[in-house]
Amino acid sequence: MTELVHVRKTCRLCGSADLMRSVPLAEVPIVSPNVAAEARPDGARIVRVTAPLDNYLCRDCGLIQLVHVVDPSIIYRHYLYRTAVSMGLAEHFRDLATVVIARAALVPGDLVLEFGSNDGTLLGFFRDAGMRVQGVDPASDIAAEATKRGVPTRADFFSQALAGALKRELPPARAIVANNAMANIDDLGDILGGVKTILAADGVFVFETQYALDVFEKTLLDVIYHEHISCFSVRPVDAAIGRYGLEIIDAERIDTKGGSIRFWLQHRGGPRARAARVDDLIALEEQTGLYDPAYHQAFGDCVAAITAELRALTDATRAKGQTVGAYGTSVGCAALIHQFGLEARLDCLFDDTPFKDRLAGPGYDLPVHRGARLDAVDPGLIIILAWRYAAPIMAKHRAYLANGGRFVVPLPRIEVFRR
């Protein structure tokens, strides 16, 4: 398309060219609130660039994916998001570290490597348990901050070449972890080759990512954006992973981010037996229809119905001379502005931990207020784009409702709340 976006012609997991567009979605900006676009000389231009967000289904392995791929250096070299801003994520990482240490039988001094390690929160728990840790993250500022806090972090993209370089400096990794990073990577072959290169013979590769079955069943539309270019499920990984010399030993559903899955992999022929729930989840995916184009069309139809209802609510509010606000400015929230066609229907945004004072994109440039200013601004309607946090947001702003305001929670189905 442009020097900023390329179009993938083959499945990034199995290599098949048999891809079909299964869920048409609106175009969204290629950079999000997570990206400090102003750090680039062309920042003013790229915030206006959009690319399709259509979902494609690989008809061979079943991986659900985007084919319009943004140059990762645009997104990740000047990344703003830190793990610490996500409610409850540090506690989840503490539990994850405990589980990995137990299941992988790690002992003090063992190497744990994480790619996409961000601010080092997860690796910090392994370090505190006595492990040797190494992070890899392309965001140079974040990597430097993590290193200063005692989590050595290489400011680079993980790859087979980098794994080879690290292997010359470090012992084999008894555990490799990737939390919400695998979905963000286009060249999965290079990544999995890197895992194969540096993973100890008895080591485990553990990665968590959004689970496709939850995305479709729960209408998790806000997790679909250009940072997330794959939506994983068990059957595709099981079908394709052998070509990289690895195998699944477990897959477990977890609650994070509305519905995720934790994969456990080892070298093919490794020491651990395959858990029965791997095949149970594959059977569930097939019975539910996850690999059926009609199932994908039903998801698209649901999104279209929510969009139409939401537009009607905002248009009726504005027709009364009232303003419309939205709560949440994360990357997922920003993507929803475009999916619901709200660019010209919003007057302002609210967020308790905003990265920026304004959110700009194609067709809009909106002020971002702290949540504490909601009562003073007093929109006639507020759409809670950060819908997973709707309950605490509404609890915090009972006075707004008491004074005649209305909250709309758009997902997984539209709900309107008033006094």
Domains of the chain: 5-67 (no CATH), 83-291 (3.40.50.150), 308-417 (3.40.50.720)
pLDDT at 87: 67
Residue 1 scores a pLDDT above 60: no
Residue 358 pLDDT class (50, 70, 90 cuts):
confident
Mean pLDDT along residues 303-325: 97
Structure tokens belonging to residue 416? 């309107």
3-state helix, strand, coil in the chain (%, to 5): 40, 25, 35
Q: What is the pLDDT of residues 7-50, one digit of tens each?
A: 999 999 999 999 999 999 999 998 877 777 766 777 677 878 89
**pLDDT at residue 2 greater than cutoff 70:** no
**CA torsion through residues 66, 266, 217, 85, sign:** negative
Mean pLDDT value across residues 81-98:
84
User: Which pLDDT does position 365 carry in this prediction?
Assistant: 87
DSSP character at residue 140: H
Q: How far apart are CA 235 and CA 320, in angstroms?
A: 51
As beta bridge partners, residue 388 has none
pTM of the model: 0.94
Answer yes or no: are the C-beta atoms of 240 and 191 closer than 8 Å: no
* Cα distance between residue 51 and residue 146, in whole Å: 32
Q: If you search the block for the tokens 């039903």, which residue do you land on?
A: 298
